[in-house]
Structure 1
Amino acid sequence: MLVPFGARDFLDRAVTVYGRRVGVVDEPDQPAQPWPDLTYARLGETARAQAAGLDALGVGHGERVAIVSHNSARLLASFFGVSGYGRVLVPVNFRLSPEEVSYIVEHSGSEVLLIDPELEEKLSGVTAKQKFVLGAESDAELYRFDAEPTPWEPDENATATVNYTSGTTARPKGVQITHRNIWVNAVTFALHAGVTDRDVYLHTLPMFHANGWGMPFGMTGLGVQQVVLRKIDGPEILRRVEQHGVTVMCAAPAVVNAVLDAVRDWDGEVPGRDRVRVICAGAPPPTKTIQRVEEELGWEFIQIYGLTETSPLLTINRSRVEWDDLPPEDRAGKLVRAGAPALGVTLKLSDSGEVLARSNVILAGYWERPQESAGALAGGWFHTGDGGVIDDEGYLTISDRKKDVIITGGENVSSIQVEDCLFGHPAVAEVAVIGVPDEKWGEAIKALVVLAEGRTATEAELIKHCKERLASYKAPTSVEFRDQLARTATGKLQKFKLRAPYWEGHERQVD
């Protein structure tokens, strides 16, 4: 018997088994009227109502619905109300500039655009066939509780979401994640993380980012209570852990650092000690940080590695019984590796040291970019663009980044896009943008600039130029002026030479 996987399977199980349990606790402090606590039965009704609402708006199966939102119950429900009923959800990074959001909405062909109220003014010029600001007023149009949605026969190979990611080109690429990708990622991730219905999950990770790493699906399917956190704040994370009995969360290294900073001023026992598991990815934190998580917080540290293109789980590194008797520093040294392949994942290194992967979690392709899709999937392997080594225990360590992508605070930034922006300044003749080590953000963005003859510009002026044209997190945090930049005989920038002085003494060339 072959039964197609579908994203709604997770919600259907939650409704059947945990219908009376409170499944979603919305963010109380938000510009839209928060939803009351949702039981899983009510979440199921809400998803059906959203699907019926899309029917009424004339949005057919396979058509795209874009949403630009901070974490919220409305965004969480949309994974099921949109994707679960045969449409394609396009979760957009709310930090992007209006121009970037416009490109994504237009390129994806989204029929409907849903916007968080906090972004209404900023995104006023972004248009779509039908546009709504999320809140009580739009709820009346978007959710039809008095109607049954048009049935959709699940197709596991159909695109469920299109997630735009910064890559090696100035324009973001739309990663097509299928229902099968979602299903396999959610199940294997939950298995490796040891998730049960006794857990409580805190959404510290932005849900737009690789579909919240698949957690909205896996946690729902296992009946886990999900607590929505709108904005990252170290003390607030500790308060939510204490208030709701949180046991698991996902986070970029910057979030981990925010909690470690907050705990210094926390009065009393650290919430969640010997109970919380924090799953970290984006860029490996220093060994010292891992040791502090386990000693100062008393939380279990789990490392993963993956990309938006891989749904995202490729590897997982969780402490093993063989490491229990190791000194804390040595155990942290084990955990700093990207990890061993997740169930169903096969890894190998190319002749040049690039990490290649095969798995059922790997994207179907890039939306309307067949040439780039073919390149990424050449030879039946996904080309990650990351360089690495695999040790004799089968554990992967990322050692260098082959693509020109900088990961800062867990967000991918295309260095080419930032360079293109700086080239738009009349005083810039040459520019190279690189990632340099940063204790808080993993990597910081540095611009190396050669000024045009007879022109002048200050560091502050060039940073401001970028912030006015790009999402602020993509702007350089520092600018160095050079007389020339290292290039090959054919004129190609030698970024490895430009990066080298800043990474001296670091084992990895990404932090």
Structure 2
Amino acid sequence: MHKPLLTTDFLDRARTHYGDQEAVVATTGERFTYDELGDRVDRLSAALAERGIGKGDRVAVLDPNTHYHLEAAYAIMQLGAIHTPLNYRLVPDDFEYILNDSGVKAIIADHEHAEKIEPVRESVPTELYVSNDASATEGEWEDFETLLEDSSGEYDRPEMEEDEIITINYTSGTTGDPKGVCRTHRAETIHAYLVSVHQEIRDDDTYLWTLPMFHVNGWGHIYAITGMGAKHVCTRGIDAEGIFETIRTEDVSYLCAAPTVLNMLIERYEATGEGTTGANPVRAATAGAAPPEATIRTVEDEFGWYLKHVYGATETGPLITTSDAKRLFDADSADRFSIKKRQGLGYLGTDVRVVDEDGADVPRDDATIGEIVVRGNQVMDGYWEKPEETEEAFNDRIEGYYHTGDLAVVDEHGMVSIQDRKKDIIISGGENISSIELEDTLFEHPDVADAAVIPAPSEKWGETPKAFVVPASGDPDAPGASAEEITAFTRERLAGYKVVHEIEFVEELPTTATGKIQKFELRQKEWDEEDRMVGEG
């Protein structure tokens, strides 16, 4: 029997079986059951439909981890429209590009972030603007709660097929503008199934939203947590004190956190010695960069949590591997930390390989480096209206596999461990940063003749952008503009987390005979004392 796999099934199931159970603890202090959450979603679907939103329309959501984001996502998908979450840390120029690239018809924004949309309203195709607090939002915005109050909640849910696009997630462009990763009902559904299995999600879980919902739909947790009938605890931001307090007061059992967030929590714990759990045991998933063994040891031995290290990319769902392989390590042995820091084994039904330049699998010797490629039902169909980039992503070394750009080794059990990156990407504090974008911005400065940006090791962030700059003056000792002035120049043009904080002035950059900059030489210099050329958070 064939039954279409639809993202709307997750909320439908929760409403059917857990309608009277608490679904959401909101940042406003409100609490909603799944019946109440479903009613709010229906009312928003109806309100959007009345304003012309229908199947296939792109609707952006610019919101931190609030109940408004959850409601907006499901309301959009119930109409067969395409949920397009936005990174609220971006700047107006970024939003202008994304809203135009995907042809966004409506945007639902948090009042604290809507101000970044106002400067570009006249240059984007967006027609409908909704704020969760219109009175606190500059410009003409409809109010979210007023829409719900005035809505009948009656709407027509269209026929939908599992191979239709239901969400577009924008990733940092490594060779140009950001790309919209197109994900279907089927891909999202199967990924959520896999997350539910490998993250051991159950209906009595209380999930704390420390991972941004805009990150590939919160790594699929907007579906998995909902479908299992578990509880969402929403947040407006990340602070160690608030996380620990919420874990204790709400009896949180599960959360996701990049290694940098774990380090924030460790600093807080070491300073206060406060309680790290409530009534429930806590497990945490981490990704973005491999956590150092010391971080894993503290989280497990001092916090008393169980840590799961997972790996993937926006294009792959994101999650495709896990180092949570209990049969491969002794739970009471310190040896487990060296295994848990690896990216790990492929998820169920996921074909993860490490291949050489010819597309052949590298030996399982934990020494030979190749590129991680992957096939799986959770992998994207392609980039939004970018067929050439899609073709390249799936057919570089080996046909039909998504090429991650991560270079890794494989051990005897098939567990992968990333050693370097092929792509010009920097992962700092769990955020992807395009070195190409940073270089383009540096080139705009009149005192910069040439520049190359690479990841440099950082104890706090795992890795951080560093720029090697050839000054227009030709003299590194008299560059014309100071490092601080160039940093300030980039801060005006880039999201804060992308800004280059370390600048080294040089006479020239290493190049090949054809003039191509050899970033590998620069990376080798920076990572000389490390055992790999990727950061550990």
Displacement after TM superposition at 1:143 (Å) = 6.8
Question: Once structures 1 and 2 are overlaid, which stretch shifts more, 261-270 or 295-304?
Answer: 261-270
TM-score by length of 2: 0.91
For 2:66 and 2:506, the matched residues in 1 are separated by 45
Q: Are 2:158 and 1:134 equivalent residues in the alignment?
A: no
Which residue matches 1:72? 66
Contact 1:132–1:138 (8 Å) recurs in 2: yes
Q: Are 2:111 and 1:117 equivalent residues in the alignment?
A: yes
Contact 2:250–2:278 (8 Å) recurs in 1: no
Q: Are 2:57 and 1:63 equivalent residues in the alignment?
A: yes
Alpha-carbon spacing, 1:465–1:170, altered in 2? closer, same or farther (3 Å): farther
* Aligned counterpart in structure 1 of residue 481 of structure 2, from 457, 472, 475: 457
Which residue matches 1:202? 208
Q: Are 2:277 and 1:254 equivalent residues in the alignment?
A: no
Q: Secondary structure at the match of 1:434?
A: strand
Displacement after TM superposition at 1:141 (Å) = 2.5
Contact 1:273–1:299 (8 Å) recurs in 2: no
Which residue matches 1:375? 392
Give per-residue Cα distances to partners, 1:412-443, cap 9 Å, x unaligned: 11000000000000000010011111111111
For 1:224 and 1:406, the matched residues in 2 are separated by 34
State the identity as a percent.
41
Tell me the amino acid that sits aligned with residue 443 of structure 1: E
For 1:219 and 1:87, the matched residues in 2 are separated by 22
Which residue matches 2:374? 357
* Aligned counterpart in structure 1 of residue 99 of structure 2, from 80, 97, 105: 105
Question: Once structures 1 and 2 are overlaid, which stretch shifts more, 265-274 or 495-504?
Answer: 265-274
Tell me the amino acid that sits aligned with residue 216 of structure 2: A
Contact 1:276–1:299 (8 Å) recurs in 2: yes
Which residue matches 2:41? 47
Alpha-carbon spacing, 1:292–1:19, altered in 2? closer, same or farther (3 Å): same
Which residue matches 1:227? 233
Contact 1:8–1:85 (8 Å) recurs in 2: no
For 1:287 and 1:354, the matched residues in 2 are separated by 24
Tell me the amino acid that sits aligned with residue 418 of structure 2: I
Displacement after TM superposition at 1:323 (Å) = 1.9
- Structure 1 vs Structure 2 CA RMSD: 1.6
Which residue matches 1:434? 454
Displacement after TM superposition at 1:469 (Å) = 0.3
Contact 1:445–1:475 (8 Å) recurs in 2: yes
Provide structure 1 residue ranges, at least 5 long, that are not aligned to the other structure.
29-33
* Aligned counterpart in structure 2 of residue 183 of structure 1, from 178, 189, 192: 189
Question: Once structures 1 and 2 are overlaid, which stretch shifts more, 121-130 or 351-360?
Answer: 121-130
Which residue matches 1:243? 249
Alpha-carbon spacing, 1:84–1:304, altered in 2? closer, same or farther (3 Å): farther
Alpha-carbon spacing, 1:327–1:505, altered in 2? closer, same or farther (3 Å): farther
Displacement after TM superposition at 1:395 (Å) = 0.6
Contact 2:60–2:85 (8 Å) recurs in 1: yes
Give per-residue Cα distances to partners, 1:314-359, cap 9 Å, x unaligned: 101115144235532x211110000100001001123231111000
Give per-residue Cα distances to partners, 1:235-275, cap 9 Å, x unaligned: 11000000100011111111111111111233544325981
Q: Secondary structure at the match of 1:118?
A: coil
Give per-residue Cα distances to partners, 1:158-208, cap 9 Å, x unaligned: 111101010312311000011111101111111011111121100000000
TM-score by length of 1: 0.96
Residue pairs, 1:351-430, within 5 angstroms = 351-352=356-357, 353-378=370-395, 379-430=399-450
Which residue matches 2:138? none
For 2:163 and 2:149, the matched residues in 1 are separated by 27
Give per-residue Cα distances to partners, 1:272-312, cap 9 Å, x unaligned: 59811110000112111111111121111100010111111
Q: Are 2:345 and 1:340 equivalent residues in the alignment?
A: yes
For 1:94 and 1:100, the matched residues in 2 are separated by 10
Contact 2:40–2:148 (8 Å) recurs in 1: no
For 1:347 and 1:438, the matched residues in 2 are separated by 29
Give per-residue Cα distances to partners, 1:111-138, cap 9 Å, x unaligned: 0012211123333213221212223733
Q: Are 2:484 and 1:473 equivalent residues in the alignment?
A: no
For 1:422 and 1:264, the matched residues in 2 are separated by 39
Displacement after TM superposition at 1:146 (Å) = 1.1
Contact 2:87–2:214 (8 Å) recurs in 1: yes
Tell me the amino acid that sits aligned with residue 346 of structure 1: D
Displacement after TM superposition at 1:389 (Å) = 1.5
Which residue matches 2:3? 3
Q: Are 2:111 and 1:91 equivalent residues in the alignment?
A: no
| Alignment: residue pair count | 504
Q: Secondary structure at the match of 2:175?
A: coil
Which residue matches 2:509? 485
Provide structure 2 residue ranges, at least 5 long, that are not aligned to the other structure.
135-142, 358-369
Displacement after TM superposition at 1:399 (Å) = 1.2
Which residue matches 1:14? 14
Q: Are 2:293 and 1:287 equivalent residues in the alignment?
A: yes
For 1:80 and 1:22, the matched residues in 2 are separated by 17
Which residue matches 1:31? none
For 1:155 and 1:143, the matched residues in 2 are separated by 31
Give per-residue Cα distances to partners, 1:354-389, cap 9 Å, x unaligned: 111000011111011111011112211111111112
For 1:359 and 1:22, the matched residues in 2 are separated by 34
Displacement after TM superposition at 1:229 (Å) = 1.4
For 1:298 and 1:437, the matched residues in 2 are separated by 29
For 1:424 and 1:268, the matched residues in 2 are separated by 48
